Amino acid sequence: MERGLSRNTLASYRRDLDRYAGQLAAAGITELADVRPADVTRHLAALRESGLASSSAARAISAVRGLHRFAVRERLVAHDVSADVHPPAPPKRLPKALDVSQVERLLATPATDSPLGLRDRALLEFLYGTGARISEAVGADIDDLDLGEDSGAVLRGKGGRTRLVPVGGYAKAALQAYLVRARPSLSENGRGTPAIFLNARGGRLSRQSAWTVLHRCAIAAGLPVDGPYAVSPHTLRHSYATHLLDGGADVRVVQELLGHASVTTTQVYTLVTVERLREVYATSHPRAR
């Protein structure tokens, strides 16, 4: 609560700490004051041996370290036994981004002859047109949207931070078509939720349902849904950032649009564009090879 974390993050940390408490209990440790640095190190080793991905193990250890820091701050224990136990460094992976033609193919897949088809088209256009996280899109309300001349949307991101992002012409047209021709009929089945995107029962569209929409459209567009290049809920956000940088946008501007607290997070996308430059050079220059 103090850090303003999302429900999903809190649920993940709760699972991580439940697993930690279970391992300590198996070792006969029931009080935080009895935990030693070796116990925390042993827990990290057990996480890695279980086949957990380095990113998941890093998150689990971060939760454990947060627990011990909290215990010291609240004077429940005298020392932080986790201070010297560092999470494993995850391998650096570049964000997966679609090229422009793939994005256009994906956005064109929903049929617009039904309310749900109009909704799906508006959802995909909104995700790509604003760079919103999928949780931000399904969490947005009608009052957060302004489709006037300078159209924009208020998005509520991680840590309770809000930001105003512009809504492009294609996304604006898809949203207007959905709001006029589809949302009223969908809302008749519900209880008057203020959400922009509704499910077939008139309630707020869930993250899982929005992911299902994206997955179904990716299959229809002939895009990968399995393996390292599978289209995921973050794919359109990655593509949004990469295409902005490819088009000459300043990294600080992209940081604000994405709602990143630190520009370091945004700078990973500059690596994507460098890779793209190398690829274009290698395939286009007569003396590249």
- Residue at token pair 């036994």: 81
Angstrom distance (rounded) from CA 223 to CA 217: 9
Residue 207 pLDDT:
93
Tell the CATH topology of 100-282. Answer: hpI Integrase; Chain A (1.10.443)
Residue 138 pLDDT:
95
Residue 288 pLDDT:
73
Angstrom distance (rounded) from CA 27 to CA 106: 52
Q: Is residue 177 a contact partner of residue 118, using CB atoms and an 8 Å limit?
A: yes
Domain limits, the chain: 7-73, 100-282
As annotated, the active-site residues are 133, 158, 234, 237, 260, 269
Give the count of beta carbons closer than 10 Å to the beta carbon of residue 159.
12
Residue 36 pLDDT:
94
- Residue at token pair 């064109």: 108
Task: Pull the structure tokens for residue 277.
Answer: 């430059």
C-alpha distances out from residue 272 to 55, 240, 241, 275, Å: 20, 12, 10, 5
Sheet holding 162-166, edge to edge: 145-146, 152-156, 162-166
Residue 227 pLDDT:
81
Task: Pull the structure tokens for residue 179.
Answer: 């709001």
pLDDT > 70 in the chain, percent: 96
Q: Over the chain, what is the mean pLDDT?
A: 89
Q: Is 153 helix (H, G, I), strand (E, B) or coil?
A: strand
Residues of the chain under the 70 pLDDT cut: 90-95, 159, 276, 289
| pLDDT tens digits for range 124-157 | 999 999 999 999 999 999 999 999 888 899 898 7
Angstrom distance (rounded) from CA 67 to CA 176: 47
Residue 58 pLDDT:
87
Residue 56 pLDDT:
83
